[in-house]
Amino acid sequence: MRHRPALTLLLLLCACAGAEDRRGEVCEALLPAFLAENERAEILRRTMSADDPGRVVIEFARHAPFLDGRGTLACTFAGDGRGGRLGLVAVEESDAGALSPVKLQLLRRELGHALGLDLNPPPSQDGQRLGAPGGARALPYLVQQLVNALILGAIYGLTAVGYTLVYGVIGVINFAYGEIYMLGAFAALGALAVLGIAGGSWLPLALIAALLTAVLVAGGHAWAAERLVFRKLARQPSRALIAAIALSIALQEYVRLAQGARSHWLAAIRLGDLTLLERAGFTAHITGVQGLIVALALAIALGLGLLIGRSGFGRQMRAVAQDARMSAMLGVDVNRIVAGTFALGGALAGVAGLIDAVYYGGVGFFMGYIVGFKALTAALLGGIGSVGGALLGGLIIGAIETFWAAYLDSSYRDVAVFGVLVLVLTLRPSGLVSVQEAPIERAPAPR
């Protein structure tokens, strides 16, 4: 039954985008990008242009400590606003003016990921993707996409490790890790909001507090899920799988009722940037936030390797994964190890949620659904049960999604991601990094 995880994944990928017009929501989500650090905005009116049916105009009031004012934000869309593809083609603010093509393309990518929408315009009449430059600009554009892919790879890879750790220990996929990731993002957003994300000397403290809060909240929820759900179904893996899906839905609804259905947005964090390559007016750069994310992901990957390979907890976890009954007979507290594994996976998903909240800025109750499935895809692609494979799979999925959206029709990027999964599972069912299965049948110890 090796193919059950993949089959279950494919059966659950049937969600459809809503039919409501989301152009106004997208335009409102852009507003924080045009505010100063000490400003807030109050939306006064949102209208559709009479001259251009694809143009949304938002009138808003600026509120600052010593100065108030008014402004307008206009967003032009090529699509009709329904479904997952909108086609954002222009953004203009009364003070800042119209966004340049380069800034507009970067905005489409980041906001589109946060909202789960395709904001790229349709291909032009000559068949070329708008926003993908050629000639001398092609190389810096490629470098920029590599940097962007690292961020997505970190999000998918860290969440995928949670799936693979739990599966390696108890042989069951916890489908709720996408929602654990979402809880981590909300926890980070709350910590940053409480401490005031205004920059200055408070910013490092706020980021550290957000990291700790995301880890504690996400890890705590994962630990509670093991104690309340999975431990009681330790001898019934099929029911545990169904319970995991139910838990995922329950966590979504819990957050929707507590925080509302609208997305919550965080002010952009500016830490400067480093120019990597510049040609013909196009600059590839890595921002301070991107650099912090890459450094954090590398540190966690190294620390995770040391924890699993060198620590007593890691040795006991590997022993339980190979033979839980024999481990219990030798004095290993199986309950503690399994609960710790759940908490560790949840903490990593919480870090991924923090990365998403800080980098993309948008947090919503539904954000964990598709990210969770893509992280599970990364785990299956890399080899379920292999930590290194999960991280590698996350990088691959992040690269596929990023480069497909950058150079091809991004409407099909999810088709490409899951199509690669089907191809790999067909040709190499064990994944890219094979995990040698224990010769003894995995069975839970008395718990």
> What is the structure's pLDDT at 436?
54
**Beta bridge pairs of residue 118:** 85
**Residue whose token pair is 């033979």:** 323
Two structure tokens written together for 243: 């319970």
The pLDDT mean for the chain works out to: 82
DSSP per-residue string spanning 116-158:
T-B-PPPPPTTSPPTT---GGGHHHHHHHHHHHHHHHHHHHHH
d(CA 234, CA 240): 7
What is this structure's pTM? 0.76
326-384: per-residue pLDDT in tens?
988 988 999 999 999 999 999 999 999 999 999 988 898 989 999 999 999 999 999 88
24-33: per-residue pLDDT in tens?
888 888 888 7
Question: Does residue 419 or residue 196 have the better pLDDT?
Answer: 419
Residue 89 confidence (pLDDT) above 70? yes
Q: How confident is the model at residue 396 (pLDDT cuts 50, 70, 90)?
A: very high
Least confident of 1-10, 247-256, 401-410: 1-10
Alpha-carbon separation of residue 241 from 229, 238, 251, 392, 429 (angstroms): 10, 5, 16, 25, 20
Alpha-carbon separation of residue 205 from 23, 200, 209, 269 (angstroms): 36, 10, 6, 13
Contact 353, 185 (CB under 8 A): yes
53-64: per-residue pLDDT in tens?
778 888 888 877
Tell me the CB-side half-sphere exposure of residue 62, using CA atoms within 13 A: 22
Contact 71, 57 (CB under 8 A): no
Domains of the chain: 23-131 (no CATH), 141-427 (1.10.3470)
Give the type of residue at 214: A
